[in-house]
Amino acid sequence: MNRSRREFLQKLTMSSMVLPIVSTYTPQWYGPLHTDVQGPVLRVALMGLGGYAQRVADAMKDCKRAKVTGLVSGTPAKLKEWGSKYNVPERNRYSYETFDDIKNNPDIDAVYVITPNALHHDNVIRAARAGKHVICEKPMAVSVQEGQEMVDACAAAGVQLLIGYRMRFEPNTLEIVNRRNAGEFGKINFFQGQCGFKIGDPNQWRLNKELAGGGALFDIGIYAINGTRYMVGEEPVWVTAQETKTDPTKFKEGVDETIQFQLGFASGAVASCLSTYNMNYLDRFYLNGDKGFAELWPSTGYGPIKGRTHQQPLNHPHIAHQTIQMDEMAAIILDGKKPVLPVDGTTGLQDLKIIEAIYRACATGARQELKLV
């Protein structure tokens, strides 16, 4: 057992001794902490060797159940550099032209698609047709239609499609979910999600509608959308939204700068969220119930995540989110493990339905009804 895990279990033991004094709730850790580290290893090819792919690759060095065994890039120099850095042999390095040959490579079980949003659709379908499981970064596509085609293609090929929702495995986040499920916060009334930062280079692909599909909502606002669903614990049934644009030169037509959106739930709970590319220091989730509250601040950054409830702070030690994510996804693919919070293609498709409804609400000024289940 490594040192960080041993320290975590020691803290968990101490917290379980204290909790009965302040609450009748006893934590149930059936999330990433119980991954079978002795099981088989998921062999993963990374597609799209940009900044986030490097973060994933570096985090996977500490994985017990997942390993980088393949690389896909349109830049030969990157394939050589990354191949050397991550010990990936030349036979497992592919260009986008040769990628389909991956179907004949027994060293690769899954492809992690980390390309610009608009490329996800074709990349995922090609990987599925090659008989490989697929992990796709969020957002899974730039439209509901594309997302559905991806889900259908993976089902037809008999492979799994998972979406890179790393926060759905994060320990502080899961503790709040477990406490909510145990009734500690009572009836949930309200959620607030604030996600944003000032984006830099105006020429980057994230500000190109053809590659990004939109603007801040696709990139950062999706955290609030997805977070609303797992924090409240039910699916929204309506949405309203308002868009603000102060710099139409930087944020061209179809690239949103700032959107405020509100979600309503059948239980009567409501959510108020902000997505922006023009404000810093916005990374906060707040959940309110009639018996208590929970807060994450920061809530979705690369960490460490900080949290508290009406009773006590949340103090899980920081482990790279992608390390936990990839070990957990290996257990899902190889062992059939059912995660606490789903990360499958259907979950990603539901987020796309909400995103499209938000854009419609901005365009029309009218409330949009949602039917996600």
**What confidence tens digit (pLDDT) does each residue in 242-272 have?**
999 999 999 999 999 999 999 999 999 999 9
Q: Within this chain, do residues 7 and 136 fall inside the same structural domain, yes or no? A: yes
For the CA atoms of the chain, what is the radius of gyration?
Answer: 21
Residue bearing tokens 């079978």: 36
Query: Do 65 and 211 share a domain, yes or no?
Result: no
Domain boundary among the residues 163, 198, 225 is at: 163
Average pLDDT (1-7) is 41
Nearest C-alpha neighbor of 328 from the set 88, 203, 160, 80: 160
In the chain, how long is the greatest CA-to-CA distance? 62
pLDDT confidence of residue 39: 87
In a domain, 306, yes or no: no
How distant is the alpha carbon of residue 39 from its chain centre?
A: 24
Q: Is residue 20 predicted with pLDDT exceeding 60? A: no
Q: Are residues 58 and 145 in the same domain?
A: yes
Which DSSP category does 236 fall into? Answer: E
Tell me how far apart the alpha carbons of residues 15 and 13 are, in angstroms, rounded to a whole number: 6
Residue spans of alpha helices (H) in 277-341: 321-335
- Return the CATH number at 280: 3.30.360.10
pLDDT tens-digit profile of 198-244? 999 999 999 999 999 999 999 999 999 999 999 999 999 999 999 99
Q: Is 114 in the same domain as 212?
A: no
Query: Is 298 inside a domain boundary?
Result: no
- Residue 6: pLDDT band with limits 50, 70, 90: very low
Region 113-123: what's the mean pLDDT?
98
Q: Are 136 and 164 in contact (CB under 8 A)?
A: yes
Residue 87 falls within a domain, yes or no? yes
Q: What is the CATH number of the domain that holds 140?
A: 3.40.50.720
Running DSSP on this structure, what letter comes out for residue 149?
Answer: H
In the listed set 130, 163, 196, which residue is the last one of a domain according to the structure?
Answer: 163
| 356 and 221 within one domain | yes
Residues marked as catalytic: 138, 223
State whether 108 and 201 are in the same domain: no
Q: Indicate if 355 and 213 belong to the same structural domain.
A: yes
Residues 199 and 109 in one domain: no
Q: 71-108, pLDDT tens digit by residue? A: 999 999 999 999 999 999 999 999 999 999 999 999 99
354 and 206 co-located in one domain: yes
Please tell me the total count of domains within the chain: 2
> How confident is the model at residue 164, as a pLDDT?
98
| Residue 277 token pair | 């590319």
Does the residue 275 lie in any domain?
yes
56 in the same domain as 117: yes
Residue 129 and residue 9 share a domain: yes
The parent domain of residue 12 ranges over 3-163
Question: Look-up: residue for tokens 């920061």?
Answer: 298
In this prediction, residue 37 carries a pLDDT of 62
pLDDT surpasses 80 at 49: yes
Above 70 in pLDDT, residue 34? no
10, part of any domain: yes
Q: Is residue 302 part of a domain?
A: no
| Residue 78 placed within a domain | yes
How far apart CA 126 and CA 132 sit, in angstroms, is 9
Residues 92 and 147 in one domain: yes
What's the whole-number average pLDDT of the chain? 92
Q: pLDDT tens across 311-323, in order?
A: 999 999 999 999 9
Domain presence at residue 29: yes
Of 113 and 30, more confident: 113
Q: pLDDT at position 26, please?
A: 38
Q: Is the predicted pLDDT of residue 29 greater than 80, yes or no?
A: no
For residues 125 and 228, what is the distance between their CA atoms, to the nearest angstrom? 29
- Per-residue pLDDT tens digits for 158-167: 999 999 999 9
